[in-house]
Amino acid sequence: MKILIADDHTLFRDALTLYINQIEPDYRISVARDIKEVVELLEADPDYNLVLLDYRMPGMNGFQGLKKIRQTWPNIQVALMSGIANEEEVKASLELGAVGYFPKTMPGHAMVKGFQQIVKGEKFIPVDHNTNRLMPSYEPPFQPAMDKAANQDGSSDSVHLTTREMDVLGHLLQGKSNKLIASALGLQVVTVKLHVRSLCKKLDAQNRTQVALKAREMGILDQFLRPSTHQEAAINPISKRT
């Protein structure tokens, strides 16, 4: 994985780079101290898996730095870092195309897990350290994408679910609790709750029971009723990850 860390605080930048290299020696890390250096590095080599931007470093001007990178290099994943996990900033950054928001107060191992989550096609949302609860899942309003094989009248819509959401859905349809799902998938219970909340939102359901009913109505349930069903669904999700 290639990561570009952009932060004007040398101590934090160097400490994060050192920590990542210690636990993931195969990761290739580049650093920058402002947006100007970020642009220069990306112009020379746009082949990065993830760019981490300090929200308040020189040249950012609010979200202008994020906008510039997303517009110029739309295929590069960009996440923000900040000393304070402000909910409004989280919401705004995700609506502008960021794939994650990392408070600088979070443990290093949790940050690396967040990087890995992003590379898998998921978004990373931090824990509110004041309440020790997961922040709400801020995403732009969901709009079901048209399936490539849809009829011309648009009668066949497909919901885009991430691979992890498909994993959680498969266990949810078996009637498992969040705790059992977390144990089966090696996740935190709060992370499972986030995925269930996302499923409710995407399937326009109010609770877990409605998720199952909606999955049946939309044909998603069929993915899990075939032989070797769940394994197949995990490898071949309904559509591209979101």
Domain ranges of the chain: 2-123, 145-235
Q: Which residues pair with 236 in a beta bridge?
A: none
What is the pLDDT, as a whole number, of residue 78? Answer: 95
What band does 29 get if pLDDT is binned at 50, 70 and 90? very high
Q: Domain 2-123: give its CATH architecture.
A: 3-Layer(aba) Sandwich (3.40)
Mean pLDDT for the chain? 75
Q: Write out pLDDT tens, residues 95-147.
A: 889 998 888 777 778 888 888 888 888 888 765 545 545 444 333 333 333 23
CA distance 211 to 200: 6
Cβ atoms of residues 41 and 35 within 8 Å: no
One fold for both 2-123 and 145-235?
A: no
Query: What was the pLDDT predicted at 230?
Result: 39
- Residue type for 156, please? S
Tell me which residue has tokens 């402002």.
Answer: 34
Helix axes 208-217, 163-172, angle to 10 degrees: 110
Percentage above 70 pLDDT, the chain: 74
With H, G, I as helix, E, B as strand and everything else as coil, classify residue 53.
strand
Determine what percent of the chain is predicted with pLDDT higher than 90.
21
Would you state the pLDDT for residue 221?
56
Topology annotation, domain 145-235: Arc Repressor Mutant, subunit A (1.10.10)
Are 233 and 187 within 8 A, CB to CB?
no
Q: Which residues lie across from 6 on neighbouring strands?
A: 32, 53
CA distance 200 to 168: 12
- The residues facing 81 across adjacent strands are 54, 102
pLDDT at 20 over 80: yes
Q: Quickly list H helices, the chain.
A: 10-23, 35-44, 64-72, 87-95, 108-119, 163-172, 178-185, 189-202, 208-217, 229-235
- Token pair for 13: 């930048």
